[in-house]
Amino acid sequence: MTVKTRFAPSPTGYLHIGGARTALYSWLHARKFGGTFLLRIEDTDRERSTQASVDAILEGMNWLGLDYDEGPIYQTDRFERYKEVIQQLIDQGDAYYCYCTHEELDEMREQQRANKEKPRYDGRCRERTEPREGVEPVVRFRNPTEGEVVIDDLIKGKIVIANKELDDLIIARSDGAPTYNLTVVVDDLDMGMTHVVRGDDHINNTPRQINIMTALGAEPPKYAHAPMILGDDGKRLSKRHGAVSVMQYRDDGFLPQALINYLIRLGWSHGDQEIFSLEEMIEFFKVEDVNGAASTFNSEKLLWLNQQYIKEMPIEELMEHLQWHLDNQKLDISNGPDFAAVINAQRDRAKTLVDLVSSSRYFYEDFEEYAEAAAKKQFKTATPDIMQAVHDELETLPDWQPEAIDKAIKVTCEKLELKLNKVGPPLRVAVTGTAMSPSLDITLYLVGKERTLERLLKAIAFNRAKYA
């Protein structure tokens, strides 16, 4: 049987890190076996579902490169089918109308809590034959009261839940709209899912869903419940922990490959390997190897991975990702050195794409001020004379090439009888405005002769004024 998996988010927000990871696992499982990956939008809660959320989720999937073969399928387009199944369950006696009011249910739960019991529907409408006037009924599934449900979870192993722990869940609201546990069952069956990979917050729903499938005479798919991702306070990852939207990571300068790589290694491993190409992920990933324990999100490691990818990625590909940040930071690279050359010089020292762009600004634009700490540390009384000497030496260069620039700087040092560390650092601040840059010869070469000389004169004037 061909493998078929799905990702089934409810469009009530953006695609978050946890969802992205289960989507990745599900996608990987399908890709590994040459199967089908389907995207289903679980929008039966019309109150909370929005088109904006659907768009955000699609954007996130697209950015991560998680492509789907079928869908997006919207559950709201399938209400007729759900109604058919609900009717079938009623007809065969596996579901019934319940006329309990919210007040009655609240009271019942309160009572149960007071008795230190698990709040659950007590089945009081199970044998009711007459409607209750003025109450639009819901439909409940008649869950078995005895026996147990066994899940052979691919990640968690064998899970056994007694039917007496379960109650008769609502499968249709009083307005006739189907609920989650019914729609999931119908869709997973109709769409031929072979494997359901989802968050382990759904473990408790699984026995209910299996019971409905059994009532429908169907064979349940295989389940793989992936653990949650926790924030650094040990609590489930949420907005409190900073960036949780996948797109926020794009905005913050992360490469999708780095995020994917981080996500796959969070809760899964292949020996000591840390960095995986997509091909390797598909080859090595086994859903059975996913760790059953929840793991804590660690942004330091993500940053490290991002740096590795920035460093190693083919330059053309890196440039494509950089374009968005160029636009976002409004850096115009038309008036200056070849951007690829700048990036090649800079990429070893950047942890994010945002850094990479912002730290490359001085190659294209003149700066108004020197970085305060750098100027304070490097600009001394002798600076104007030193800068003047460097300027004069550089000015004579017929050939503005790194080797020649390097030589000119060293010649200046000899003339002034100064060590390189007395000349280099202030020179860097004068030309870049900051204390960090690639090596000076490359930096000056890329900044260009005209700009370099101008900036040196500017630094001389600045320091003369300062020490006058």
Residues involved in catalysis = 239
397 contacts RNA (rule: CB under 7 A): no
For residues 338 to 367, the per-residue mask of contacts with RNA, x marking binding by CB under 7 A and - elsewhere, is ----------xx------------------
Answer yes or no whether residue 431 interacts with RNA by CB under 7 A: no
Contact residue for RNA among 15, 30, 125, 440 (CB under 7 A): 440
Contact between 173 and RNA (CB under 7 A)? yes
Asked if 371 is part of the footprint of RNA (rule: CB under 7 A), the reply reads no
Q: Element (H or E) spanning 7, and its range?
A: strand 4-7
Burial state string for 411-431 with b = 16 or more CB within 10 A and e = fewer than 16: ebbeeeeeeeebbbbbbbbbb
Residue 83 binds RNA, judged by CB under 7 A: no
Which positions from 220 to 239 touch RNA by CB under 7 A, shown as an x/- string?
Answer: -------xx-x---xxx---
Residue 438 touches RNA, criterion: CB under 7 A:
yes
Write down the residue that tokens 């004379």 correspond to: 385
Among 50, 76, 163, 174, which residue sits at the site for RNA (rule: CB under 7 A)?
174
- Nearer to RNA (CB atom), residue 337 or residue 464: 337
Among 28, 31, 42, 96, binds RNA (CB under 7 A): 42
In contact, 288 and 221? CB cutoff 8 Å: no
Specify the 3-state DSSP secondary structure of 385. Answer: helix
Q: Name the DSSP class of 404.
A: H
Q: Would you call the peptide bond into 72 cis, given omega within 30 degrees of 0 as the criterion? A: yes
Binding residue for RNA, selected from 138, 224, 287, 353, defined by CB under 7 A: 138
DSSP code per residue over 271-314: TT-----HHHHHHH--GGGS-SS-EE--HHHHHHHHHHHHHHS-
CA Rg, the chain, in Å? 32
273 to 292: interface string for RNA, x by CB under 7 A: -x--------------x-xx
Subset of 294-313 contacting RNA (CB under 7 A): 294-296, 298, 300-301, 303-304, 307-308, 311
Q: Under the criterion CB under 7 A, does residue 36 sit at the interface with RNA?
A: no
Q: Which of 55, 152, 201, 385 touches RNA by CB under 7 A? A: 201
CA atoms within 13 A on the CB side of 336: 21
